[in-house]
Amino acid sequence: MGLEAICQPRPNIYNPDTPFTNQAIFTHMLLGGLVMILAPLQLIAHVRHDYPRVHRLAGRLVVLAAIVVSFGGFIYIVRHGTIAGPLMDIGFALYGALMAVAAVQTIRFARKGDVRRHNNWALRLLVLLAGSLIYRLHYVFWYLVTGGLWSNEQLTGPFDQVQYFAFYLPYLALLEIWIRRRKVVQRMR
């Protein structure tokens, strides 16, 4: 399969016989795009400190959109199934579950005024959101370097199977290490 094909939405996603599932997955893609634009705004300290209302409003939109994106993905997985079958279903469902949990925790701790936990969960949410881009970037680099070794059009090759989890789990693990190290350094001060 060519690199262009992996970067295109797959034609099998739309099915004229399942309008509800189509709506779920297209809402998913639309809000997914919106959240990818809005989420990085939350990292800008100047916006957080000088325009707290913008931070709060954008934060609520990001959280709500992330939850809808996750549920749109779940509906698609349950009613249609991913292109590659059960293992990809599991990888993507876990991704969606983690994203929904991170979104809820982010707003929950913000409302409680627990800034440290809010920040940590917001970072987890950002890493998960970035996963959608990282997934595609992994493919771009892999295809450029290997020409698509261990990958096929149905996304069932060994490389594809690693991808079902590799676009978010290693990055979440790295973030956890960073969060724990930062905590230790702060305690020592």
Instruction: Name the residues that contact ligand HEM, by CB under 6 A.
Output: 9-10, 13, 28-29, 32-33, 35-36, 69-70, 73-74, 76-77, 82-83, 92, 95-96, 99, 129, 132
CA distance 148 to 142: 6
Which one, 28 or 124, has the nearer CB to ligand HEM?
Answer: 28
Which one, 51 or 171, has the nearer CB to ligand HEM?
Answer: 171
Q: How far is CA 76 from the centre of its chain?
A: 16
> From the CB of 48, what's the least distance to ligand HEM, in Å?
21
CA distance 91 to 145: 25
DSSP, collapsed to helix, strand or coil, labels residue 153 as coil
Which one, 38 or 179, has the nearer CB to ligand HEM?
Answer: 38
Q: Which residue has the tokens 């959109």?
A: 65
Which one, 22 or 51, has the nearer CB to ligand HEM?
Answer: 22
> From the CB of 163, what's the least distance to ligand HEM, in Å?
12
Query: Under 8 Å CB-to-CB from 59, ≥6 apart: which residues?
Result: 42, 106, 107, 110, 122
> From the CB of 129, what's the least distance to ligand HEM, in Å?
5
